Amino acid sequence: MDIAVLDKNFAKSKIKETDIVWRNANEPPFQIRGVFYDADDGCYRRMPKESSSKINWGIDWMARATVGGRVRFITDSPYVAIKAVASPICYSANGTLIGRGGISVYQDGTYCGHVSPYPEDIEASKTNKDGKMYFDGIVHAINGGLWQAEIYLPLYNDVLYDLYVGLKSGAQVQQPNPYVYDDKPIVFYGSSITQGGCASRPGND
């Protein structure tokens, strides 16, 4: 039985649009906050490797989790499509695949959908020559016109290698509005609860 019949929130966000223009999320005008793309390491990180590797193995490993990371921009595209390349997710008894490895999209601060890997994506990674997991999907905007998008990155994916954002051909893409308090960064230190623990999806942490 298709689980989406029981709950539409479990329906796969399949990409059917044919007018998508794909852009690399680590290039302007997109703004990345909370993490950065480490070209030498070939992935997104929340702490530089030269620092994390000097502390201990656990810190160095967790520094590659993208929790708290987000991609911000303004657009008038009626949808945001996502293509992600990540490390395979480990199943968890106390966390969903959406929470561990999904990507949430917010429109002007309001949640409007997510893109998530599925068990078949994890299984496919076992036979991929590079051992990486590939997944994609699409989220449609709630309202039309210009809107500010925030894409929240996975909570517990070991590594997010690449992220591509797809917008409707001809759509505007602009730099996002600055945060009200944006002059100094805020650093959080704590346990898995601080990280987001068993949040059902990114953005809920």
**DSSP secondary structure string for all residues of 128-166:** STT--EEEEEEEE-SS-SSEEEEEEPPSS-S-EEEEEEE
- Per-residue pLDDT, averaged over 113-120, amounts to 91
Looking at residue 43, what is its pLDDT?
94
Q: Which residues, 6+ apart, have CB-to-CB distance to 49 below 8 Å?
A: 38, 40, 41, 60, 63
Measured CA to CA, the distance from residue 67 to residue 188 in angstroms comes to 11
Looking at residue 1, what is its pLDDT?
57
Q: Indicate the pLDDT class of residue 147, thresholds 50, 70 and 90.
A: very high
Q: Indicate the pLDDT class of residue 10, thresholds 50, 70 and 90.
A: low
Q: Indicate the pLDDT class of residue 124, thresholds 50, 70 and 90.
A: very high
Does the pLDDT of residue 174 top 90, yes or no? yes
Burial class, 203, CB count within 10 angstroms (exposed 0-12 / middle 13-18 / buried 19+): buried
Angle at 106 between CA 166 and CA 74, to 5 degrees: 60
Does the pLDDT of residue 145 top 90, yes or no? yes
Q: pTM of this prediction?
A: 0.91
Q: Could you read off the pLDDT of 45-76 as tens digits, one per residue?
A: 999 999 999 999 888 888 998 999 999 999 99
Tell me how far CA of residue 94 lies from CA of 1, 37, 74, 91, 100, in angstroms: 24, 29, 35, 9, 10
Looking at residue 205, what is its pLDDT?
61
Length of the chain, in residues: 205
Does the pLDDT of residue 9 top 90, yes or no? no
